[in-house]
Structures are given as C-alpha cells and as structure tokens.
Amino acid sequence: MDAATDDAGTFDAVIVGRGFNGCYLLHRLRQEGFSVRLVEAEPRLGGVWQANRYPGARVDSHVPNYEFSMEEIWRDWVWSEKFPGRDELVAYFEHVDRVWDLSRDVDVETRITSARFAPGDDRWTLHSEAGRRYRCRHLLLCLGFGSAPFVPDIPGLGSFDGPCHHTARWPEEGIELAGRRVGVIGTGASGVQVVQEAAKVARRLTVFQRTPVTAIPMRQEQLDPDEQWALKADLPEIFARRNAPPGSFHDLEREDVGAMSVNADRRREVLEAAWARGGFHFWFGTFNDVLMDEQANRAVYEFWRDRTRERIDDPVVAELLAPTDPPYPFGTKRPSLEQDYYDCFNRPNVELVDLRSSPIVEITPTGIRTTGAHVDLDVIVLATGFDANTGGMTTLDLPDLDGVQLADRWADGVDTHLGVAVPGYPNLLMLYGPQSAASFCNGPVCAELQGEWTVAFLDRMRRDGLTRFDSSAEDARWWSGQLAEVAERTLFGRTASWYMGANVPGKRHQLLNHPSSDVYLAQLRECAGAGYRGFTFS
Ligand code: FAD
C-alpha cells in the first residue's frame, strides 16, 4: 500500500455508503457518542437513487413505507406521489441530510478500494481510490445490494457508435430519446421503467426480451399535501405497523389460508382486491402459500396472465409477454410494478424481440444483430441488472485474516452469520447485505431495524471494554443451510433469478436474500437475546 497516503484519521467506526443504511447509522452512532466517518463514492446524495437516474426511475415501495420513521424527518416533509420518482427521492435525501446535519461527517467522491484488518490493534485500515487512509475499530459496509451493475459479455459491446449506457450508469446530462431509434436490452424493473418512458417519445423502440417479467399494476397516485399534513398524527402508528408481520409494509394484508383451500369465487375475489389495490399487494398480499405451493402459484399466475393479456392487441406479442404456461413460478423473480408497460406494446413504434428464439449475436457500430435480423439503433439502453447482493463487496480488495480475498472465499458460495458478519473478518458488519432480508424488506425499514441491532451490538462491546468480535464459521454454515432450506421449501429455488445469484455467469446458485423479513429480523433479535450467539468477543 502507498506509504504516502493522505491520513483521514482514526474513528470508532467508518461507514462506507450513504444510502438509507449509511445515513441512519451515521446519525444514530453519532447520537450514541461514537466517533464516525462516512465515506461515499458518489459526489452527491441519494445512494442507489443517485446512480439510477435513467428515464422513469422510481421506487416500487409506496410511501410511507419508503421513508424514515423519525418525527424530525417526517414532520416537514410531504410527497408528491405515492411511488416517488428518482428526483424526489434524491430531494428527500437532501432533506434528511439537512435535518440530521450529516454532511459534516461525510467524505464524498471517496471510493474505498481496499480494507485490511490488523489483529495487533484490532483495527481496520481502509484506502480510497485516491489514496486516502482511514483507520477504524469497526468497518460498517452499507454498499447497497445493487451497487455493482451487471453487463453481459456481448461481443462488440464497445463498438456501438451512439450512446450505450447501463441504467445505473446513466449520464447526468441525460440522453435524448425523442425521435430516435432506441433499443432496450432487459425487461427487469429498470427495463420496464425505461420502456414506459421511451415508448412515448422514441421514433422506434425495440425491446430485447430474454425472460418475460410478470409486472403488476403500480396504481400510482398523486398525493395531496393538505391530506398528508392532516394525517401526520397517524404516522407513528403507521410506522409501528410496518415493523410488524407480515413484513415492512404498513398496509399489507394476507389471508392466512392457502389459495386452493378456498373456492374459486373467493379466490378470485381476493386476487381482484389485491390487483385493484396495486403495488406489491398482488405479490405478497393474497394467500399464504403462493410462493410455496405449485398449484396455488399457478392459480395466481393464470389470473395475472389473463388480466395482462387483455391489454395486449397482438396475440403473438401477448404470448411472449404473458405466456400460456408460467416461465417461472409467479413472484420468484421480482415482479416489477408497471403503469402502462403492456399498453406500450400496442403502439406502432414499439417492437418486441424474443431473445429465446433469436439471441443477440453482437452489437455493431449501428445497432444490434440477433440470429434473426440486424436492428438499426441510435441509442442502446443496458437494463441488464446488477451483480446483486455480493458485487459491491467482491469487487473490493478485502482479504480475510489468512489473506484470502473475499471474492475468492465466496467463489463457491456465500456464508455469512445472519447476513451481517463474515467469518475471518473481525469487526466488520454488513447492512442490507447478502443473506439478510435485503430486497424483501423496504430499504428504510430494514435500515432502521438492522441499524438499531448494530448500534446495540457496538454499544454492548463498548460497555464491556471489548475491542474485537469474530463470527463463527459453523454458525455461518448453519445460516447458509437455513437459506438453502428456504429455497428448497419455497418455489424460489426453482427459478434462475438474481435472488439466487443466477443472473451472473459463474456465480453459485444459492438464495441470497431471506424472503421473509419478519423471520429474518426475529433471527437477529434472537441472536442478540442469546448474548449474540455465533459471535466471540475479546
Ligand atoms: P444504497 O442506497 O445502494 O447506497 C449504497 C451507497 O454505497 C451508494 O451511494 C454507493 O455509491 C456507495 N458505495 C458502494 N460501494 C462503495 C465504495 N466502495 N466506496 C464508497 N462508497 C460506495 N428497495 C425497496 O425497498 N423498494 C424498492 O422499490 C426498491 N427499488 C429499487 C430499484 C433499483 C433500481 C435499485 C437498484 C434498488 C432498489 N431498491 C428498492 C433497493 C435499495 O437498494 C434499497 O431500497 C436501499 O436504497 C438500500 O439502501 P442502502 O443504504 O443499503 O444502499
């Protein structure tokens, strides 16, 4: 390492990443009297919402589920939409930053590239890309589950003459889509959102689909500020509800019965009600066995398929977007929320290319060649997702106590202690990390609950005069086993999804997020209640 580094100082804790998790921890640890520094790669606020500035970017969790629950934050804030767009979310982060006065302890444009633990003094030393050095007792990684964009290895990718960008690397100045021939590769959440915008302005929009998304109606609403001011008094109770089962939404209701244990009329009634409510209700708010039982899942899929196909004029396109037989069990890939995604395909300027029958051969200077045709394009949008959960961490130079890099340790699979700690990495905690409930738990809800667990953990060490913790390999294997059982018991294990690490070639297929945030958070509480089982302290 560079001896001539710029020394940023020594702290009780360094937090890496200024999304919901980093902001919450900085605020709370400072309140508790810890010395803390937060380092963030991006120049501006917003976490994942800073980088994801592609057209149409918006959150799929409706407010007030996607916001902090502290009164000083919510009392002066109103939202304009139920599902806020990216710019409003960035403005929200600016508001949070002002209220909690976070920036005074934040270094921006500081990408951490390496970290090493010194057993001699039980401290981490971190280095940034520009050579800044930080030393700290505790390393708190809040890198986000989607901070490493994934771009497939398509021949000729760099040869395209026009703009070609991943959705999470969208240029700040934007890209003109109006009047141009636009190609979108990928139909996950980002792809759906870009398509909805591009379809309305592009001269021609070509959507390259490998696997159909099972997108469900968002039912966006414009929110009235006066109504929100009037409802402020109810917020504490609403926030309390989102922390209680069935998980991270204040208004999620689920029948505690199986889909096939009720008659067809009742089943339809429940599905219709969730469909009409919009948002994730149709995913999580119908029956208790949709993600467990094939027959129940098929019933939900068929409802989704029929309601979706009603909106698509061309039967060939309808079969590609909403196939007769489920391409995978409904809900085991993240069902994106849509506003008029399926209607876009009725426009004369929008075409769908099925990559299953005509795979991409190459990107050329003028477009995309599939086995069926060459599509001339002016702009290519890579809506190809993320090396989710692990990518932010495995791209770091992060050796364990034996000098083995994390990327190598995890090459054959991830083992963590409850998604917060990694054996061989003392004094390191991950927030919203792999094998936690991340991506099944609303970002800010999880940030508060996991954040409080972390604050209590560090406080306990401080009270007891402890300078080092380790997590046990045996417990980490046990937790991986628990997740493997969940994958087996549910329908998640049957789907090649990013939840299973299956979207990135070479990544081991294993369930990387616990699909029940309640069960996951109960495990964390139980661990704490048992004197932090699985951890050793010195
Ligand atoms: P992030 O907000 O991702 O912040 C991580 C920060 O770490 C980033 O600012 C990044 O620049 C920084 N960073 C990463 N590596 C380094 C490094 N080496 N050095 C310094 N800084 C670094 N969640 C929901 O609950 N509902 C949704 O609808 C939803 N939609 C999403 C849509 C998209 C497109 C994406 C990508 C994610 C979505 N999420 C959603 C998940 C989202 O990650 C969480 O809601 C929440 O933002 C997580 O916060 P975080 O603090 O963990 O991470």
Q: What is the pLDDT of residue 247?
A: 75
- Average pLDDT taken over every residue of the chain: 96
Cα 36 to ligand 1 centre (Å): 20
pLDDT in tens, 497-513: 999 999 999 999 999 99
Q: What's the CA gap between 238 and 65, in Å, rounded? A: 9
Is the pLDDT confidence value at 538 over 80? yes
Q: What percent of the chain has pLDDT over 90?
A: 97
Report the nearest-CA residue for atom 53 of ligand 1: 144
Q: What is the pLDDT of residue 246?
A: 77
Q: What is the pLDDT of residue 284?
A: 93
What's the CA dihedral at 326, 331, 335, 337 to 10 degrees? 110
Q: Mapped to the 3 state alphabet, what secondary structure does 370-402 carry?
A: ECCCEEECCEEEECCCECCCCHHHHCCECECCC
Residue 221 burial by Cβ neighbours in a 10 Å radius (0-12, 13-18, 19+):
exposed
Cα 282 to ligand 1 centre (Å): 24
Cα 20 to ligand 1 centre (Å): 8
Query: What is the residue-wise DSSP string for 225-241?
Result: HHHHHHTGGGHHHHHHH
Q: What is the pLDDT of residue 38?
A: 98
Is the pLDDT confidence value at 5 over 80? no
pLDDT level of residue 1 (50, 70, 90 thresholds): very low
Report the nearest-CA residue for atom 52 of ligand 1: 144
Q: What is the pLDDT of residue 367?
A: 98
Is the pLDDT confidence value at 136 over 80? yes
Q: How far apart are the first and last CA of the chain?
A: 28
Is the pLDDT confidence value at 433 over 50? yes
In the numeric block, which tokens belong to residue 531?
A: 């004197």
Cα 70 to ligand 1 centre (Å): 20
Ramachandran category for residue 297: left, alpha or beta (phi over 0 → left; psi -120 to 50 → alpha):
alpha
pLDDT in tens, 385-397: 999 999 999 999 9
Nearest to 534 by CA among 457, 443, 440: 457
pLDDT in tens, 284-322: 999 999 999 999 999 999 999 999 999 999 999 999 999
Q: What are phi and psi of 469, to 5 degrees?
A: -125, 150
Q: What's the CA gap between 152 and 154, in Å, rounded? A: 6
Q: Are 168 and 365 in contact (CB under 8 A)?
A: no
Report the nearest-CA residue for atom 42 of ligand 1: 443
pLDDT level of residue 175 (50, 70, 90 thresholds): very high
pLDDT in tens, 145-173: 999 999 999 999 999 999 999 999 999 99
Closest ligand 1 atom number to CA of residue 128: 19
Q: Mapped to the 3 state alphabet, what secondary structure does 146-193 carry?
A: CCCECCCCCCCHHHCCCCEEEHHHCCCCCCCCCCCEEEEECCCHHHHH
Cα 196 to ligand 1 centre (Å): 23
Closest ligand 1 atom number to CA of residue 337: 28
Cα 142 to ligand 1 centre (Å): 8
Best probe residue, ligand 1, of 16, 113, 143 (max atoms within 8 Å of C-beta): 143
Cα 447 to ligand 1 centre (Å): 11
Cα 465 to ligand 1 centre (Å): 33
Q: Are 415 and 477 in contact (CB under 8 A)?
A: yes
Strand 6-16 to 36-39 pairing? parallel
Report the nearest-CA residue for atom 51 of ligand 1: 19
Which ranges in 53-116 belong to alpha helices (H)?
A: 71-74, 86-100
Q: What's the CA gap between 235 and 69, in Å, rounded? A: 8
Closest ligand 1 atom number to CA of residue 392: 15
Nearest to 65 by CA among 242, 286, 278: 242
Report the nearest-CA residue for atom 28 of ligand 1: 60
Q: What's the CA gap between 310 and 308, in Å, rounded? A: 5
Handedness of CA 491, 497, 500, 505 (dihedral sign): positive
Cα 55 to ligand 1 centre (Å): 18
Mean pLDDT of 340-354: 98
Cα 215 to ligand 1 centre (Å): 22
Closest ligand 1 atom number to CA of residue 19: 51
Cα 143 to ligand 1 centre (Å): 7
Residue 256 burial by Cβ neighbours in a 10 Å radius (0-12, 13-18, 19+):
exposed
Report the nearest-CA residue for atom 6 of ligand 1: 17
Reduce the DSSP state of residue 224 to 3 states and report it.
coil
% helix / strand / coil in the chain, to the nearest 5?
35, 20, 45
Strand 106-107 to 112-118 pairing? unpaired
Q: What is the pLDDT of residue 245?
A: 80
pLDDT in tens, 44-89: 999 999 999 999 999 999 999 999 999 999 999 999 999 999 999 9
Q: Which amino acid is at 535?
A: F
Report the nearest-CA residue for atom 15 of ligand 1: 143
Report the nearest-CA residue for atom 14 of ligand 1: 143
Report the nearest-CA residue for atom 36 of ligand 1: 146
Handedness of CA 523, 524, 529, 535 (dihedral sign): positive
Q: Where are the beta strands (DSSP E) in 428-501?
A: 428-430, 469-471
- Who contacts 64 (Cβ-Cβ below 8 Å, separation ≥6)? 74, 235, 238, 239, 242, 250
Is the pLDDT confidence value at 525 over 70? yes
Cα 430 to ligand 1 centre (Å): 13
Closest ligand 1 atom number to CA of residue 66: 25
Cα 147 to ligand 1 centre (Å): 6
pLDDT in tens, 215-251: 999 999 999 999 999 999 999 999 999 988 877 899 9
Q: Are 379 and 163 in contact (CB under 8 A)?
A: yes
Binding-site residues, ligand 1, Cβ < 6 A: 16-22, 39-42, 47-48, 50, 52, 59-61, 111-112, 142-147, 189-190, 392, 432, 442-443
Best probe residue, ligand 1, of 38, 48, 92 (max atoms within 8 Å of C-beta): 48
